């Protein structure tokens, strides 16, 4: 029985997708004593992982090497190896199409492979963020088409990933794990998988509830960030320091939680998940106006940064065209190497279209390559700073020498309040 195999750690676990979610989970399973096979479609990634070289910052190569050398973890591009696993966690990307509707093609591709090799007493868990109903409406029919019955012959559940890249306190092991199954037996089986490895497991009544949990978590952040971004726009037009307003409001010991404005939302979850939710709401005839409005405000912020850039250069009697603009930080959040949905990319592209002479520095991102965009990080030296007409702080990495920056810069646009406590006529804030 699968539950017994999970209890005694004799189950063979599979993880499909070895990125920011899948690799930490696979290594955590391996550390708990399970045999784990990781599946990915990128051959170079698989080769590096089998040599103990991690491409995910939250999984140090030393930790990966231990998992590999112990024999508990191996990676492969051969999906026929799914025939040998007892559980499969699906951790593939779920982006938005240009039309802002969900792209579940990666999930479909993964499930097609799983269905080919599905056998009795197998647990399948979707972890990729998606809209409520995906597990039961999309995955379940594909798996039951094999002739096996859910809750009896195989088990199907959803458990939202809650990865926070770069967080030194919370990681895969100690972040509470929500799980909901298609049937009670599915929920129970999935609980045993996670309880054998993770600190805390939170069962819920269904896959739909579990799917909605993740969307609520990130929509909560999106809406509150949208509120404070709108407040920042309002304060800017009134000549009020929004950062001082927030700090003062945060002294209230109840009824207030501080959120902070910025140049736009980045990462895979917060800029995307609310659109999954509003898309699903429209499908059932509900208009999520509050959520969509927050998305509109947040999406406008890179344009606002460009507007502030124009103002900062105008104050020097300069136009964007031909001005030397240095962007500090292009990762979507501090101290990580992830540029997914980073507002810095949008800001750079807009300034380049205005013929600005744009460079960037980021200690975590050596190269920035997108369609129509190919740049390399420049060295951050006092000469480079002094030779720039404007420094725009987009991502406040801890390694930046802000004292050197302020001493040598002609003008600084601080979109993150990285220069908090410093006063200078050189500084302009969001």
Query: Which range, of 79-83, 355-359, 421-425, averages the lowest pLDDT?
Result: 421-425
For residue range 95-135, what is the model confidence (pLDDT) as tens digits? 877 777 788 999 999 999 999 999 999 999 999 989 899 99
What mean pLDDT comes out for the span 338-347? 93
Q: Is the pLDDT of residue 64 over 80?
A: yes
pLDDT at 154 over 80: yes
Confidence class of residue 176 from pLDDT cuts 50, 70 and 90? very high
Q: Mean of the per-residue pLDDT values for the chain?
A: 94
| Torsion region of 85: left, alpha or beta (phi above 0 gives left; psi -120 to 50 gives alpha) | beta
- Tokens describing residue 8: 């005694």
- Supply the pLDDT for residue 284: 86
User: Position of tokens 């039961």?
Assistant: 136
pLDDT, residue 106, reads 95
**Residue 272 — pLDDT band, cuts 50, 70, 90?**
confident
The pair of structure tokens assigned to 13 is 């676990």
Alpha-carbon distance 264 to 356, whole Å? 20
Contact 180, 158 (CB under 8 A): yes
What is the chain's Cα-based Rg? 24
Are 228 and 243 in contact by the 8 Å Cβ rule? The answer is no
How far lies 223's CA from each of 217, 228, 288, in Å? 10, 9, 12
Is residue 269 part of the annotated active site? The answer reads yes
When pLDDT is averaged across residues 75-103 and rounded to a whole number, the result is 91
CA dist 420 to 21, 362, 400, Å?
A: 33, 20, 14
Quickly name the fold that domain 2-205 has.
Rossmann fold (3.40.50)
| pTM of structure | 0.90
Q: What percent of the chain has pLDDT over 90?
A: 84
The whole-number pLDDT of residue 347 equals 97
Q: Which two tokens stand for residue 405?
A: 């920056």
The domain 221-429 is placed in CATH, from the list 3.40.50.150, 3.40.50.300, 3.40.50.720, 3.30.450.20, at 3.40.50.720
How does residue 249 score in pLDDT terms, banded at 50, 70 and 90? very high
User: What is the rounded distance in angstroms from the CA atom of residue 265 to the CA atom of residue 294?
Assistant: 11
User: In three state form, how does the secondary structure of the chain look?
Assistant: CHHHHHHCCCCEEEEECCCCCHHHHHHHHHHCCCEEEEECCCHHHHHHHHCCCCCCCCCCHHHHHHHHHCCCEEEECCHHHHHHCCEEEECCCCCECCCCCECCHHHHHHHHHHHHHCCCCEEEEECCCCCCCHHHHHHHHHHHCCCCCECCCEEEEECCCCCCCCCCCCCCCCCCEEEEECCHHHHHHHHHHHHCCCCCEEECCCHHHHHHHHHHHHHHHHHHHHHHHHHHHHHHHHCCCHHHHHHHHCCCCCCCCCCCCCCCCCCCCCCCHHHHHHHHHHHCCCCCHHHHHHHHHHHHHHHHHHHHHHHHHHCCCCCCCCCEEEEECCCCCCCCCCCCCCHHHHHHHHHHHCCCEEEEECCCCCEEEECCEEEECCCCCHHHHHCCCEEEECCCCCCCCHHHHHHHCCCEEECCCCCCCCCCCCEEEC
| Least confident piece of the model among 27-41, 62-76, 193-207, 367-381 | 367-381
Q: pLDDT value at position 288?
A: 87
At 393 the pLDDT is 98
pLDDT of residue 163: 83
**Residues 310-319 pLDDT 10s:** 999 999 999 9
Token look-up 């920056």 returns: 405
pLDDT above 90 for 156: yes
Query: How many CA atoms are closer than 13 Å to the CA of 225, on its beta-carbon side?
Result: 23
What pLDDT is stored for residue 132 in this prediction?
92
Strand partners, 123: 87, 155
Average pLDDT over residues 82-91: 98
* From 91, 186, 235, 269, the catalytic residue: 269
Distance CA(131)–CA(154), nearest Å, equals 23
Domain boundaries, the chain: 2-205, 221-429
- Six-digit token pair at 288? 């999520």
The answer on pLDDT for 36 being more than 90 is yes
């Amino acid at each position: 029985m699968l539950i017994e195999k999970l209890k005694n750690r004799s189950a063979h676990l599979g993880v499909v997708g070895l990125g920011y979610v899948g690799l930490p989970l696979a290594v955590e399973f391996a550390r708990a004593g399970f045999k784990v096979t990781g599946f990915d479609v990128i051959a170079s990634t698989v080769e590096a992982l089998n040599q103990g070289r991690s491409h995910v910052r939250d999984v140090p190569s030393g930790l990966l090497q231990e998992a590999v050398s112990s024999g508990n973890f191996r990676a492969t591009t051969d999906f026929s190896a799914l025939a040998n696993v007892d559980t499969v966690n699906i951790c593939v990307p779920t982006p938005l199409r240009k039309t802002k509707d969900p792209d579940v093609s990666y999930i479909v591709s993964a499930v097609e492979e799983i269905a080919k090799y599905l056998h009795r007493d197998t647990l399948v868990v979707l972890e990729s963020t998606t809209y409520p109903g995906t597990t039961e409406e999309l995955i379940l029919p594909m798996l039951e088409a094999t002739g096996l019955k859910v809750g009896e012959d195989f088990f199907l559940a959803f458990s939202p990933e809650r990865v926070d890249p770069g967080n030194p306190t919370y990681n895969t092991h100690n972040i509470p794990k929500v799980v909901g199954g298609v049937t009670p037996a599915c929920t129970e089986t999935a609980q045993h998988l996670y309880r054998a490895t993770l600190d805390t497991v939170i069962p819920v009544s269904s896959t739909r509830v579990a799917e909605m949990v993740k969307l609520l978590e990130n929509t909560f952040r999106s809406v509150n960030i949208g509120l404070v971004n709108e407040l920042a726009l309002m304060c800017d037009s009134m000549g009020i320091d929004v950062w001082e307003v927030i700090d003062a409001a945060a002294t209230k010991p109840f009824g207030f939680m501080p959120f902070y404005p910025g140049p736009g939302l980045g990462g895979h979850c917060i800029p995307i998940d609310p659109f999954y939710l509003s898309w699903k709401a429209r499908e059932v005839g509900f208009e999520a106006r509050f959520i969509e409005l927050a998305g509109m405000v947040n999406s406008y912020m890179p344009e606002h940064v460009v507007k502030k850039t124009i103002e900062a250069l105008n104050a020097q009697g300069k136009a964007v065209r031909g001005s030397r603009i240095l962007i500090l930080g292009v990762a979507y959040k501090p101290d990580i190497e992830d540029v997914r949905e980073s507002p810095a990319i949008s800001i750079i592209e807009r300034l380049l279209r205005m013929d600005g002479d744009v460079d960037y520095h980021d200690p975590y991102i050596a190269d920035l390559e997108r369609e129509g965009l190919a740049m390399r990080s420049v060295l951050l030296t006092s000469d480079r700073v002094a030779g720039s007409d404007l420094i725009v702080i987009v991502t406040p990495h801890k390694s930046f020498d802000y004292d050197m920056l302020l001493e040598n810069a002609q003008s600084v646009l601080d979109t993150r309040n990285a220069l908090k406590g410093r006063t200078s006529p050189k500084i302009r804030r969001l």
